[in-house]
Amino acid sequence: MTRRIPQARERGIPDATVARLPLYLRALNGLAERGIATVSSEDLAVAAGVNSAKLRKDLSHLGSYGTRGVGYDVQYLIYQISRELGLTQDWAVAIVGVGNLGRALANYGGFVSRGFRVAGLFDADPAVVGERIAGLVVEHADGLESVIRKRGVSIVVIATPATAAQQVCDRVIAAGVTSILNFAPAVLTVPDGVDVRKVDLSIELQILAFHEQRKASGGPMMGDEWPDGVVVVSERGAALGEASQ
Amino acid sequence: MTRRIPQARERGIPDATVARLPLYLRALNGLAERGIATVSSEDLAVAAGVNSAKLRKDLSHLGSYGTRGVGYDVQYLIYQISRELGLTQDWAVAIVGVGNLGRALANYGGFVSRGFRVAGLFDADPAVVGERIAGLVVEHADGLESVIRKRGVSIVVIATPATAAQQVCDRVIAAGVTSILNFAPAVLTVPDGVDVRKVDLSIELQILAFHEQRKASGGPMMGDEWPDGVVVVSERGAALGEASQ
DNA sequence: CCGACTTTGTGCATCTCTTCACAAAGGCAC
DNA sequence: GTGCCTTTGTGAAGAGATGCACAAAGTCGG
């Protein structure tokens, strides 16, 4: 009878843990820059803004990389987390939609520094196509599929208006992309096996407003009635990345 | 013995629910624009990209606003969710750090449309101060506290480089702000009662890379060893919102 | 070589969130 | 009115994440 020795790094690191690994990585890089060679879970937890028990449990999912009585070797842990996150390889990223946000993303310094390389900028507006941004020439969205295949793009950032998002999404998936970062305020429908993460400024602000309201009053005005004459104004489809797409 | 009748809208809507309300709101606004007066939990769930049981449970935390056998009145539900989120009032927002991202945020159309009003733009760089962006003149960061108080700013968006983020954070909190949206890749330390939400492009990409790697190979290369000669390059403190602050 | 001290890794209890499944509620046709 | 049909609202079970608390493992000074 073969007893399975419970092995960390089995398969399946909890999502919540994966979401925190980049945080630890950043904290570790900060420590490394300050020349710190070893760190305890307690100190690293403070630097990353989490509870130390949680940090230890998270790291235990990767393996036993700490030394009891001492802590974690900063460089070694940086390497292990980077490897787990897939940052030891180079990822080609394409940005679709070169509006205000698309430009900001293209110029984002943190891209290059972490294994992500902007391999293409796309827009549907002829007025924008040809423009040079962050060392890249904006290409017409017509060439999306071929460029994705040719340059091995595996992650696409959608920064188009909401109305164009699904269409762009469908096209890049057809071209083989399975990881999408969506800045457009739209729900993307994708087949199984495709990962979508969304970033939405408007939603974040609304969540803050909720808590702010709770703090200010003791909750929203009591009474669930329709006030007379209320007309709820429709939300515009305005996108954070509302570009010329 | 006083039996508490479990009352929806008691106090305390689950965080997970609050985070989804803006999603429902957007979906409802889409339906309203198409002139739809009534919607079932099933249809609304599809439009919002969630499971219908979850949607119903979420809405049940606000109250009993549906009609069995029929569904939900679109306009009424829009109003109720808006009220719960505090969107029936006007929130003054200040943006600190007018780099690429700060500019994109200032020009973001979705701001105005939803009860959020940009009441001030700040930067520490004299070269940027005085510039006119989205109808507002950029002010020097020195005036942060007084402007916050004078204009009743209750939400601050931090789009500065990581190095300046904590300092800006401390200052706006001292000025009475208790809701912060942080785009700088830094962990902010705040006293109790202050809400911070963070948006970090780099983290989102790293999470995508993790899943992408899992899909591509059968996990990261086996073997936990340090490869010879590996030098882990330090992460630059490069911020999405790396501005001139 | 030993004993005191530090810090990890984890079993366990708890809490939160999700999902299922169905009784209760209401509309509608006749 | 009455009965059928649709859809909500929710109890309960399940899954996942969190945090405590401590045994095990390792360091270090003497």
Instruction: Count Cβ atoms below 10 Å from residue A192 Cβ, excluding itself.
Output: 4
* Chain A, chain B: beta-carbon pairs less than 8 Å apart: 256
Contact assignment for B209 to A179 by CB distance below 8 Å: yes
Contact assignment for B155 to A212 by CB distance below 8 Å: yes
Cα distance from B142 to chain A (closest Cα, Å)?
25
**Beta strands at A132-133 and A195-198: parallel, antiparallel or unpaired:** unpaired
d(CA B36, CA B46): 15
Chain B residues in contact with A114 by the CB 8 A cut-off are 202, 205-206, 235
Is the pLDDT assigned to residue A198 strictly greater than 70? Answer: yes
* Separation between the CA of B9 and the C1’ of D23 (whole angstroms): 45
* Separation between the CA of B41 and the C1’ of C30 (whole angstroms): 29
Chain B residues in contact with A204 by the CB 8 A cut-off are 181, 197, 199
Does the C-beta of A68 come within 7 A of strand D?
yes
In three-state secondary structure terms, B142 is helix
Q: What residue is closest to C6 (Cα–C1')?
A: A69
Q: Is residue B80 a contact partner of residue B8, using CB atoms and an 8 Å limit?
A: no
CA atoms within 13 A on the CB side of B37: 2
* Separation between the CA of A45 and the C1’ of D19 (whole angstroms): 14
d(CA A234, CA B2): 44
Instruction: Count Cβ atoms below 10 Å from residue B166 Cβ, excluding itself.
Output: 18
d(CA A179, CA A89): 16
Average pLDDT on A78-104 reads: 96
Contact assignment for A179 to B242 by CB distance below 8 Å: no
d(CA B4, CA A230): 33
Is the pLDDT assigned to residue B13 strictly greater than 70? Answer: yes
d(CA A27, CA B207): 16
Contact assignment for A240 to B213 by CB distance below 8 Å: no
Q: Is residue B196 a contact partner of residue B158, using CB atoms and an 8 Å limit?
A: no
Angle at A185 between CA A181 and CA A189, to 5 degrees: 65
| Residue A46 C-alpha from the chain's centroid | 23
Residue A41: predicted pLDDT? 97
A83 touches chain B (CB under 8 A): yes
Residue B218: predicted pLDDT? 54
B63 touches chain A (CB under 8 A): yes
Q: For chain A, give percent helix, strand, coil, nearest 5.
A: 40, 15, 45
Cα distance from A192 to chain B (closest Cα, Å)?
12
pLDDT in tens, B44-93: 999 999 999 999 999 999 999 999 999 999 999 999 999 999 999 999 99
Q: Which residues of B84-109 are buried (b: 16+ CB within 10 A; e: fewer)?
A: bbbbbeebbbbbbbbbbbbbbbbbbb
Helices (H), chain A: 15-33, 41-48, 52-60, 74-85, 100-106, 144-151, 162-174, 201-216
d(CA B89, CA B110): 16
Contact assignment for A32 to B232 by CB distance below 8 Å: yes
pLDDT in tens, A19-65: 999 999 999 999 999 999 999 999 999 999 999 999 999 999 999 99
Contact assignment for A203 to B19 by CB distance below 8 Å: yes
Q: What residue is closest to C10 (Cα–C1')?
A: A57
Residue B109: predicted pLDDT? 78
Whole-model pTM: value is 0.88
Is the pLDDT assigned to residue A244 strictly greater than 90? Answer: no
A37 touches chain B (CB under 8 A): no
* B3 vs A226, higher pLDDT: A226
For B220, the closest of A32, A84, A204 (CB atoms) is A84
Q: Which residues of B does the annotation place in the binding site for NAD(+)?
A: 97-102
B225 touches chain A (CB under 8 A): no
pLDDT in tens, B169-226: 999 999 999 999 999 999 999 999 999 999 999 999 999 999 999 988 754 444 445 5
Average pLDDT on A81-109 reads: 95
